Structure 1
Amino acid sequence: MATFLYRGRDQSGNAVEGNLQAGNRDMAIAQLMQKGVTPLKIAEQATAQASKPVSLRSAKISAEELILFTRQLYALTKAGVPIIRALSGLAESASNEALKVVLDDISQVLVSGSDLASGFRRHPKLFSPIYISMIHIGESTGNLDHALIRLVGHLEMERETKKRIKSALRYPIMVVSAIVVAMVVITMFVIPSFSAVFSKLGADLPFATLILIATSEFMQNWWHLLLVGTIVGFVGFRQYISTDAGGLWWDRAKLRLPLIGSIFERIALARFSRSFSMMLTAGVPILNTLTIVAGSVGNLFIGKAITSMGDGVQRGERLTNTAMQTGLFTPLVLQMMAVGEETGSIDKLLDEVADFYEQEIDYELKQLADAIEPILLVFLGALVLLLALGVFLPVWELSGAVTGK
């Protein structure tokens, strides 16, 4: 891509000059005309090397910002605004610097003669495989606005699911965090004061008190090693699950967690059903759809099972049979898949499957707080009982001994 120096006049007749990047002189002229500038002189300054993807390692675009951008791009596309002008305008109005840089880069890719999907494909950390594939399908079929509005619905559904999960887990996390803080304070500061008093009295202590004193002494003597071990263990765990084998193990283990494992599974299957339906409706071949969706369900174990479905379909097996072999889908869902295959409306029935899973997710999330609350109460009760027996029982015994004298 080359850099061109230009002089010209804008729509008001005022003289303007500057530089821009384009693949060749004709593209530079076209870019200026799109901006409303009539070029009078264009000279190539230098030829740059092939553009490379913009590095945005620490950049993040929130779900709300991505939804807003997609909705704005849909509105501009539907209104007939040229895509380069639409992206340039959105880049100028973007409040997120990372999004601004990305949109400028995509605009330059379009100016150089590449397609829109190639521009989005340069930023895989910000745009999912489904997002890029829908852009590609919309661009290829001339229905980019339809693809964008479907993406808006897909992104909003993903955002709402994450919000429901965070809302359901907020209370248990706060309670558990408070318990951990309370235990640290009690073992580090409260118990030592009582143990000093008990040691001076020289009386025989109850077993619960001995447990508390031993725990407190261990924490006081080895707290630095415990802290370092916790940090090293956490970092090592994060490093392990970032590998392919570790990520596969962790995603499989998450599905077996009590209370929340079934929620994780239903979320992944709802995402698969909705995404699969959306891709089929857009006209993506079923094998390509399974490959794309397998990498975007958010769970490597379920993604591997979906990949095996693609292998079965490639061998000529029915989709329902390959789904049955995974062991992930309920008989009701498999029956709906079978009816969809027979009637040729599997995309519509998969939408209904996604609705079914989302209703189950809503129900389980509502029941999650009710299920966790008694467990937390029992745990708190046991903790309070241990503290009461360990701290107050020897005090009562000593008081009784003094009174008896």
Structure 2
Amino acid sequence: MAVFEYKALNGKGKKISGIIDAESTFAAKLKLRQKNIFPILLNRIESNSIATNKESNSFFAGFRLFSKVSSAELSMITRQLSTLLSAGFPLVKAVATLVTQAKSKNIKKVLSRVKDAIEEGSSFAKALGLYPNVFSPIFINMIHAGESSGTLEIVLERLADFTENREDSKKKIQASLAYPILMFFIGFGVLVILLTYVVPGIVNIFSDMNHTLPLPTIILISLSFFFKSWWWCFVLAPFVLLLVLFSVRKFEKIAYLIDSFLISLPVIGILLKKIIAARFTRTLGSLLDNGVPMLTALNITKSIAGNMVIYELISKACARVEQGGELSEVFSQSSAFPYLASQMIKIGETSGELEKMLEKTADLYEKDVQTAITKATSLIEPMIILVMGVVVGCIILAICLPIFEINQLIQ
């Protein structure tokens, strides 16, 4: 069955657009007219219009990042699907219902293709696996575990909770950092304007007087000329730095050294360790709780570690578990992983409640991270104001000093 994208007029003459599945173009038009919709434009959506595994490895795959489905929309669809399955809907009909309810065209196309794949005899997890740009390995493996155990609707509900909790944590951190970052950029912008436009106009007055200027004023004039000549360097510097970091991280040894340095820093390093521990324990706990095998779950968490030191640590843990050892043995021997987290994992392994202990560990470190960021931002805000006050005060002093000297000479 093919999928068509249409632009049409409804019974009231209003322009509408959407997606419909049908055997042919004629069947699609007939189906629309039966719904009192009159198509103006009808285009068949080819299967290669959505990124597949093969496409995701191509040169242009990176440019499709902006077409990814948002976490909020994916969470909503997951919860709706869980509700429909719990209400007794067959999987194909439930997915078809979501196609009509989805808001973005991208998810409509993906769901339509997933429905077609299921109708052709593919499993739900395998159908989702065709679209790695939309569905993460965590999502696909949990769906596979739910299908295997016959608890798909329960797994979908847990997936929705997992996605929502992760999104909430991300939004809280972003909200905490938004105001200090905004203040920094506003302050920096004001400083650049002062040094490039305001100060040169005032300083020209002193230059014409042929009077020896105080040292603070000379420094201010030098800074002003420097900013006026090289302002573009300050604009390009952050982008160049990000590009360089992104390029060098492709080399594993360099990426390992950078990550090792970051987690060894006094304050930032401790915070990074807590963030990584929260992400690792939350993901691993959710996967194990939904029936995903330990080695598969560890390999998935390894791929989302975001830190080469932790990546290698999880790789060692995989090897140890495969040999019949305990997970906590590897983590307790490394300073890159919080000691408390490794001890809680050990307690979970000993008591046979590893999944619950992982969830508790994730809750603990997520709260710690949020508290630490809130405290840091409460200190950063007055620090930015203080620094800006000192800088502006120095500029005013450098301008006023020659005025005071000239005034004394006149008297």
Shorter-chain TM-score bucket reads 0.7 to 0.9
SS in structure 1 at match of 2:121? coil
Greater Cα offset, 314-323 or 293-302: 293-302
Aligned partners of 1:284 and 1:352: how far apart in 2?
19
Aligned partners of 1:255 and 1:234: how far apart in 2?
19
Query: Could you tell me which residue of structure 1 aligns to residue 23 of structure 2?
Result: 19
TM, length-normalised to structure 2: 0.80
Matched AA of 1:353: T
User: Structure 1 residues 254, 91: closer, same or farther in 2, change over 3 A?
Assistant: farther
- Number of matched residues? 362
State the Cα deviation string for residues 122-174 of structure 1 (Å, max 9, x = none).
22122221111111111111110111111111111111111111111112101
Tell me, yes or no, if structure 1 residue 332 matches structure 2 residue 340: yes
Query: Could you tell me which residue of structure 1 aligns to residue 168 of structure 2?
Result: 160
Aligned partners of 2:131 and 2:250: how far apart in 1?
20
Name structure 2 gaps, 5 residues minimum: 4-20, 26-45, 52-60
Equivalent of 1:182 in 190, 197, 206: 190
Aligned partners of 1:183 and 1:122: how far apart in 2?
51
User: Structure 1 residues 86, 300: closer, same or farther in 2, change over 3 A?
Assistant: farther
Deviation at residue 260 of structure 1 after TM alignment: 4.6
Greater Cα offset, 306-315 or 251-260: 251-260
Whether contact under 8 Å (1:208, 1:390) holds in the other structure is yes
Greater Cα offset, 276-285 or 189-198: 276-285
Name structure 1 gaps, 5 residues minimum: 4-16, 22-48
Whether contact under 8 Å (1:164, 1:365) holds in the other structure is no
Tell me, yes or no, if structure 1 residue 352 matches structure 2 residue 360: yes
Aligned partners of 1:374 and 1:279: how far apart in 2?
42
Query: Could you tell me which residue of structure 2 aligns to residue 75 of structure 1?
Result: 83
Whether contact under 8 Å (1:337, 1:349) holds in the other structure is yes
| Structural mapping, 1:305-384, within 5 Å | 305-384=313-392
Whether contact under 8 Å (2:280, 2:305) holds in the other structure is yes
SS in structure 1 at match of 2:23? strand
Deviation at residue 226 of structure 1 after TM alignment: 5.5
Matched AA of 2:173: I
User: Structure 1 residues 224, 191: closer, same or farther in 2, change over 3 A?
Assistant: same
SS in structure 1 at match of 2:365? helix
Deviation at residue 192 of structure 1 after TM alignment: 0.9
State the Cα deviation string for residues 265-320 of structure 1 (Å, max 9, x = none).
32221121122112222222211111111212444443332222112222333211
| Structural mapping, 1:5-404, within 5 Å | 19=23, 54-55=50-51, 57=64, 58-224=66-232, 227=235, 231-241=239-249, 251-252=259-260, 254-255=262-263, 260-403=268-411
Matched AA of 1:102: V
Whether contact under 8 Å (2:146, 2:155) holds in the other structure is yes
Whether contact under 8 Å (1:130, 1:296) holds in the other structure is no
Matched AA of 2:179: Y
Deviation at residue 389 of structure 1 after TM alignment: 2.2
Aligned partners of 1:242 and 1:191: how far apart in 2?
44
Matched AA of 1:140: S
Whether contact under 8 Å (2:50, 2:110) holds in the other structure is yes
SS in structure 1 at match of 2:208? helix
After the TM superposition, which segments of 4 or more aligned residues of structure 1 sit over 6 Å from their partners? none
Deviation at residue 106 of structure 1 after TM alignment: 0.8
Aligned partners of 2:265 and 2:107: how far apart in 1?
37
Aligned partners of 1:2 and 1:176: how far apart in 2?
52
Matched AA of 1:144: L
State the Cα deviation string for residues 364-400 of structure 1 (Å, max 9, x = none).
1221222213432332233123212221222222222
Aligned partners of 2:174 and 2:248: how far apart in 1?
25
Query: Could you tell me which residue of structure 2 aligns to residue 46 of structure 1?
Result: none
Greater Cα offset, 275-284 or 185-194: 275-284
SS in structure 2 at match of 1:326? coil
State the Cα deviation string for residues 108-130 of structure 1 (Å, max 9, x = none).
21122111111111221222211
TM, length-normalised to structure 1: 0.81
Matched AA of 2:71: A
Aligned partners of 1:160 and 1:254: how far apart in 2?
25
User: Structure 1 residues 253, 64: closer, same or farther in 2, change over 3 A?
Assistant: farther
Matched AA of 2:373: L
Deviation at residue 261 of structure 1 after TM alignment: 4.4
Query: Could you tell me which residue of structure 1 aligns to residue 29 of structure 2?
Result: none
Greater Cα offset, 222-231 or 89-98: 222-231
Whether contact under 8 Å (1:259, 1:368) holds in the other structure is no
Aligned partners of 1:382 and 1:93: how far apart in 2?
56
